[in-house]
Amino acid sequence: MKRKLKDNSYFKDLISHWGGKEGFRVEYKLSRSKLSKDIWETVSSFSNEGGGLILLGYEERGTRYILKGVENAKQMLDDFSSTIGQKFNYCPRVDAEILAVNGKDVIAIEIKKAPKNLKPIYIKDLGPLNGGFKRVGASDIRLTDEDIRRYYMERTGTLDSQPVKGTSLKDIDTNTIRRYKNLRKLLEPEAPEIDYNDIDLLMAYSLLADESETLTVAGLILFGTESAIKRYFPAARLDIIRIKGVKWGKDRDPFLSRDLKGNLLSLRSIALDFLDRFFLIPFHSKERGDRVDENAHRKALRESLTNLLMHQNYHHSRPAQIIIYNDRVDFYNPGYSLKDPSLFKSPGSELRNPLISTVFYDINWAETKGTGLKTTMEALESEGYSLPIFNNDTRNDIFTLTLPHPAVGVTPHVTEQVTEQVTEQVTDIMDRNALIIEFCQEPRKLKEIMKYVDLKHRPHFIENVMNPLLKSEMIRRTIPDKPKSRFQKYVAVKEESEKDISSDNA
């Protein structure tokens, strides 16, 4: 276990990499003359999460850690080495070294992340509930029942590869499989799975358990019927909530909120359609002032939705939520991010649901190298939009991405009051567009629509409200070849084109 080095460069680099301050990956302990009792809790939490570094020989004083050194470092390290193998249900993987820091001995212990098939790592005499820990910030927190259940499920594979007992091919929505093949064909016309029958297609993506007709979690969530998903995963839904304000409270607008249910291939398209009703206004213009509907903010909305559906824990007891406030959109994901948010600008990802991800990759709804958020943030920066804010709550197993609304026409020189006024104008337009599209689910006359949204100036309404909606193809005329017909009505455009959906690259 003990690392034999000619110098201490490895551990010094490790300390530098993890910031040198106590936190999610670094723990300081005094252990002046003997090992502290809580060192085993930290070994457990680092093993169960992403690994970490324990430094012995430092005294905590407020937010600072003062170098004190350890006495008889060799003996203490030998005690640690001889005890750890008997202390846990599985021996954690560790490397340790005695460092010389300013003339004093310090012990550095690197704890490796345990393989999934060995988790949870817990103190054997106490059992998993009392002796198992996870890292939350700079603290070691006991595992919950939900944590332990998740770890044991991951032992036999990923969360989305678990068989769902009682399911069969009868729980598959064949229309969704046909739709998936159409999406796949648009991208790769020669892809072999296009010609597979339903069973072979499911087997090709490992969506059937043990070559039987039992569906895996991914198979059911991706292609299942709404009733089957509701039966086996009652919390697997997506709530889109409109809050008229900037704080969670009683200002929920029931007319502009939806609880969406169904499989992922249907759910994502419905959610995109619903979000587009709010974000039709052109937040970006070319130099000449021409309207530009596509921008980095809208792409960020799609990327955030894709990540929400692709990376959540479907065994969680809470549903996913998208909460639209006056100043931001919160994407509330059941299941904390396996990748540290500080690394989101770097490529690569840790997948909670690799089977679901593979299907998303193959229809171009997600990027295959884990670079979706990286490219999204780069695009937001280049176009001058605010970057998303991340809250990775490992204690409660929740990840939240907050995407601020862009302020239309606001420069850094305007006052905060003007910014608030502009934001309020933007949200009014968002709600008005969404209300019109919802009202026009049935064909409506122009006069009816104007009365519904309480607008009276007909030329202004046509030019600044209806024409942008028509251009965005969110509504259409019932008599397109006679725009000025006295029998003219307007109706919301239903989702019809598979090609439109597939070309929307998350």
Judge contact between 365 and 302, C-beta under 8 A: no
Count, residues in the chain: 506
Q: pLDDT (tens digit, 9 = 90+) per residue, 256-276?
A: 888 999 999 999 988 988 887
Question: In the structure encoding, which two tokens stand for residue 256, read together?
Answer: 């502009």
| Rg (the chain; Cα; Å) | 27
Query: Phi/psi of residue 123, each to 5°?
Result: -70, 120
Q: Is the pLDDT of residue 417 over 50?
A: no
Q: Answer yes or no: is pLDDT of 320 > 90.
A: yes
The CA distance from 386 to 11, in Å, is 37
Task: Provide the angle, in degrees to the nearest 10, between the axes of the packed helices 264-278 and 296-311.
Answer: 150
For residue 10, pLDDT over 50 is answered with yes
**Cβ-contact 412, 463 below 8 angstroms:** no
Give the pLDDT band (50/70/90) at residue 15. Answer: low
Query: Model confidence over 22-49: pLDDT tens digits?
Result: 778 889 999 999 999 899 999 999 999 8
**Domain 416-499, CATH:** 1.10.10
The pair of structure tokens assigned to 499 is 């090609």
> What tokens appear for 421 in the block?
């006024």
- Spatial contact of 336 and 254, defined as CB atoms under 8 Å apart: no
Closest CA to 253 of 420, 431, 428: 431
Residue 13: what pLDDT?
Answer: 67
The residues spanned by each domain of the chain are 9-155, 159-232, 238-410, 416-499
User: How many whole angstroms separate alpha carbon 345 and alpha carbon 389?
Assistant: 13
| Residue range 420-445, pLDDT digits in tens | 444 445 567 777 888 888 888 899 99
> Around Cβ 314, how many Cβ atoms within 10 Å?
24
Neighbouring-strand partners of residue 321: 239, 332
Half-sphere exposure of 56 (CA within 13 A, CB side): 28
Degrees to nearest 5, angle at CA 446 with 441 and 450? 90
Query: Residues 6 or more apart from 219 whose CB is under 8 A from it?
Result: 164, 167, 172, 202, 205, 207, 208, 355
Split at pLDDT 50, 70, 90, the class of 488 is very high
Q: What is the pLDDT averaged over residues 213-229?
A: 95
Contact 81, 96 (CB under 8 A): yes
Taking the domain 238-410, which CATH number applies?
3.30.565.60
| 335 phi/psi in degrees, rounded to 5 | 120, 115
- Spatial contact of 243 and 274, defined as CB atoms under 8 Å apart: no
* Cα–Cα nearest to 506, from 364, 354, 312: 364
Nearest CA to 274 out of 261, 262, 257 is that of 257
Q: Work out the angle at residue 344's Cα, subtended by the Cα atoms of residues 341 and 348, and round it to the nearest 5 degrees.
A: 120
The mean per-residue pLDDT over the stretch 184-211 comes to: 89
Between 147 and 494, name the one with better pLDDT. 147
Give the 3-state secondary structure of residue 358.
Answer: helix
Q: Please name the residues in contact with 413: beta carbons below 8 A apart, sequence gap of 6 or more.
A: none
The CATH number of domain 9-155 is 3.40.50.300: no
β-pairing verdict for 133-136 and 284-285: unpaired
Euclidean distance between CA atoms 136 and 132, whole angstroms: 13
Supply the pLDDT for residue 11.
63
For residue 303, give the nearest of 290, 322, 319 by alpha carbon: 322
- Collapsing DSSP to helix, strand or coil, 417 comes out as helix
For residue 385, count CB atoms less than 10 angstroms from its CB and return exposed for 0-12, middle for 13-18, buried for 19 or more.
buried
> How high does pLDDT run on average in the chain?
83
| pLDDT greater than 50 at residue 332 | yes
Question: Would you say residue 252 has pLDDT above 70?
Answer: yes
* Arithmetic mean of pLDDT, 372-393: 87
Binned at pLDDT 50, 70 and 90, residue 1 comes out as very low
Is residue 288 scored above 80 in pLDDT?
A: no
Q: Is 50 exposed, middle or buried (0-12, 13-18, 19+ CB in 10 A)?
A: middle
CB atoms within 10 A of CB 79: 13
The H-or-E segment that residue 139 falls in is strand 139-142
Residue 453 in tokens: 């949204």
415 pLDDT band (50/70/90 cuts)?
very low
